[in-house]
Amino acid sequence: MPVPSRRRPPSLAILAAAILTASAWAYATSLDGVLALDDVRGIVRNSSIRSLTTALSPPTATTVSGRPVANLSLAINYALAPVDAREVFEPAGPSSPPGAGDLFVRNIRGYRLGNLVIHLGAALALFGVVRRTLLVSRVRACFTDAAPWVAGAVALIWAVHPLTTAAVTYLVQRVESLMSLFYLLTLYGAIRAWDAAEARPRLWTAVAVVSCACGMATKEVMVSAPLAVALWGYLFGRRDDAGWRVEAGLAATWVILAVLVYGERRGPSLDLASETIWRYLITQSAVIVHYLQLAFVPRPLAFLYDWPLAASLADVIAPAVFVAALLGATVALVVRRHPAAFPAACVFLVLAPSSSVLPIATEVAAEHRMYLPLAAVVAAVVVVAFLLGRRVTARDAGAAPATSRARTLAAVTGAVVLATVLALGLETRARNDVYDSEERLWADNVAARPNDPRPRTAYGSALARRGRLADAEVQLQAAVALAPDDPVALVRLGSVLASQNKVDAAIPHLEHTLRVRPEDVDAHRYLGEIYAMRRQDALAVVHYERVHAAYPDDPMMAARLASILADSRDTSVRNGPRALQIAERAAALTGRREPRVLEILSVAKAATGRLADAEATVREAIPLAQARGDRALVGALEYRASAYAQAAQQGFGPRR
């Protein structure tokens, strides 16, 4: 992609402004999207971000586990959010109170603007890294004063590429974009420190080391940053008196990563001692080829992948050979100290941790992993296009005057870059629109990956939450057909069937869930409700007890269990003292402000012969029900109070 020669380099401020403007335009449609998937545990349920003092201790089993700097950035967003909106993480629904939608937007925009600012910073850092790399003595002659233009084209195209949306618009994947920003700043600081013309090498060494340390505390992929910097110095040269300081400082930051990885408990990773790791590794060859395809043709993109592990090398022989050839060519280029080795090696260096030594069983493929490697791919393509264009121009040097050739070349180059940025930017804007609602996000995912069961399960769950039970059933039936032993799909299907009064169809799916995963709390909950509704109290208590053991502080579940224990027709189930104990605990958990819980407490008291206390408890509940405008409940409570009073006078306890 050639650019015309100029006597003076273009204004860096103008190029930076163009990069920022294009990026902001491409992501202007990303500011109001919903939270999904890991956003819930990483942000909504993440109590550590509620205070800056606890932000450096992120919770376990979340995307931010072992990543305190990323968690701190979320805590800053929480602190800056409007006080009246900072706990509103769901968009307005049909039953939401007036103004709920505005509160959600006011809260969530801070997080999304934070992600966008990180992305803009990464684009500028990429611009700086590429420009300074093209100006080093080994390659300067090939670019002369075109280096800023080439670097600007790289940063522009990368910043608006749709493949970056997975790390920018998916909020919790800030861990990827923030790590990438620190990765690029580490490179930039090292390059500046190694520049013979740089008057402040120690300052830039500090920038590189601090950035690397922050990156290590943001995401484990940063482990390769010291290696990338060392490779840059090997390929392009470095300042002798500053080289050891930079490399030693960066290597020291591995200690930070080692401590964090040792204490990290983020989620299910593969057992490195099993054969599964081999299957994961060979599967990554097909995944990498898919990533590269999306770099050139970013369709269809998918929010969530449920990529199956290859059974053997034969299943992925073609992509494995292709990736092996790319890796071999990269090693050969490194040995020859060819400059092209750097972007090629960076792709492998950045993808290597999640593709091999730090695999995640539930995330074999994820587009956000391609965020930083995409920059290397774009840089390689733009530089090669520039060099080829310059060679063609030089070959036709006699065809037209130099000034005319330069003007024509400038016009063609500008048109190509502008068209590319416009086309990619429009795709990115459209991609961001997909995040407008859960239904749209998962519907798009299912369309892109129709044979992946997890997106179908998520889509069915989203439809169920919107009350579209019949449509939800269709998606969940398809998910179960694709993954017959998936406990999540089974329990969601069972719950949707039960909600449509298809109880006989729901029970087999819920029981199958418990055969696959006996501790599944949701399956026990739904089966308990079904058996309670059928007055099969013994079975209902079995399942309710399992839920109560898992969530002893859930007052409504405790109340349901107490209700059956206090008033079951089955004498083998009825247990008044235990019902009273559980009901008292439920009432305390609700601050004695939940009228239905107080009603059940009254039943438990009556079951133990405490009729006067039962009447007093019911009368305590009546004004609470009146305040809520629940006339039916008020009537039931008044009737119950009268029955207790009458029973006490007659000397026996009432049956509900």
- Provide the CATH number for the domain around residue 573: 1.25.40.10
| Residue 495 CB burial class (10 angstroms; 0-12, 13-18, ≥19) | buried
Q: Is residue 436 part of a domain?
A: no
Give the predicted TM-score (pTM) of the model.
Answer: 0.87
pLDDT in tens, 49-95: 999 999 999 998 889 999 999 999 999 999 999 999 999 998 876 66
Q: How confident is the model at residue 598 (pLDDT cuts 50, 70, 90)?
A: very high
CA atoms of 71 and 196, how far apart (whole Å): 38
- Residue-wise pLDDT tens digits, 529-565: 999 999 999 999 999 999 999 999 999 999 999 999 9
pLDDT band at 241 (very low <50, low <70, confident <90, very high): low
Query: How would you label 469-478 residue by residue, b for 16+ Cβ within 10 Å and e otherwise?
Result: bebbbebbbb
Q: Which of 407, 429, 451 is the last residue of a domain?
A: 429
Report, as an integer, the average pLDDT of 209-220. Answer: 97
Q: Do 197 and 105 belong together in one domain? A: yes
CA distances in angstroms from 444 to 338, 367, 433, 449, listed in the order given: 42, 15, 11, 9
Q: Is residue 65, in this structure, part of any structural domain at all?
A: yes
> What is the predicted pLDDT for the residue at 45?
92
Number of domains in the chain: 2
Return the pLDDT at 312: 93
Same domain, 471 and 417: no
Separation of alpha carbons 538 and 298, rounded Å: 56
Place of tokens 């749209």: 440
Q: Residues 316, 445: one domain?
A: no
CA distance 248 to 434: 45
pLDDT of 24 above 80: yes
Q: How far apart are CA 634 and CA 625, in angstroms?
A: 6
**pLDDT tier, 3 (very low <50, low <70, confident <90, very high otherwise):** very low
pLDDT value at residue 395: 64
Question: Domain check: are 133 and 238 in the same one?
Answer: yes
Give the pLDDT score at 4. Answer: 41
Residue 296 in this model has a pLDDT that exceeds 80: yes
DSSP-derived 3-state class of residue 477: helix
- Helix-, strand-, coil-residue percentages of the chain, each rounded to 5: 75, 0, 25
Domain that holds residue 537: 441-650
pLDDT tens digits, one per residue of 129-172:
999 999 998 999 888 778 999 999 999 999 999 999 999 999 99
The rounded distance, in Å, linking the Cα atoms of 582 and 565 is 10
Q: Is-contact 460 499, C-beta < 8 A?
A: no
**In-domain check, residue 340:** yes
Which has the minimum average pLDDT: 256-265, 379-388, 528-537? 256-265
Q: What secondary structure does DSSP assign to 159-212, as a single string?
A: HH-GGGHHHHTSGGGHHHHHHHHHHHHHHHHHHHHH-TT-S-HHHHHHHHHHHH
Residues 323 and 454 in one domain: no
Q: How far apart, in whole angstroms, are the C-alpha atoms of residue 248 and residue 503?
A: 66
> Is residue 368 located within the same domain as residue 228?
yes
Distance from the first to the final alpha carbon of the chain: 82
Residue 201 has pLDDT above 70, yes or no: yes
Do 22 and 149 have their domain in common?
A: yes
pLDDT of residue 263: 78
Task: Classify residue 524 by burial, with Cβ atoms within 10 Å: 0-12, 13-18, 19+.
Answer: buried
DSSP per-residue string spanning 569-599: S-TTT--HHHHHHHHHHHHHHTTT--HHHHH
**Is 518 found in the same domain as 404?**
no
| 366 and 232, same domain (yes or no) | yes
The letter for the amino acid at 602 is: S
pLDDT digits (tens, 9 = 90+) for 414-457: 788 999 999 999 999 999 999 999 999 999 999 999 999 999 99
Determine phi and psi for 432, rounding to 5 degrees: -65, -30
Helices then strands, counting H and E runs in the chain, come out as: 29, 0
Lowest mean pLDDT of 270-284, 389-403, 414-428, 473-487, name the range: 389-403
Same domain, 464 and 596: yes
Q: Which tokens hold the place of 637? A: 């409570």
Peptide bond into 300 cis (omega under 30): yes
Same domain, 329 and 457: no
- What's the angle, vertex CA 424, arms to CA 418 and CA 426, rounded to 5? 100
How far apart (Å, rounded) are the C-alpha atoms in residues 360 and 602?
50
Residue pLDDT, tens place only, 299-338: 999 999 999 999 999 999 999 999 999 999 999 999 999 9
> Is 125 part of a structural domain of the chain?
yes
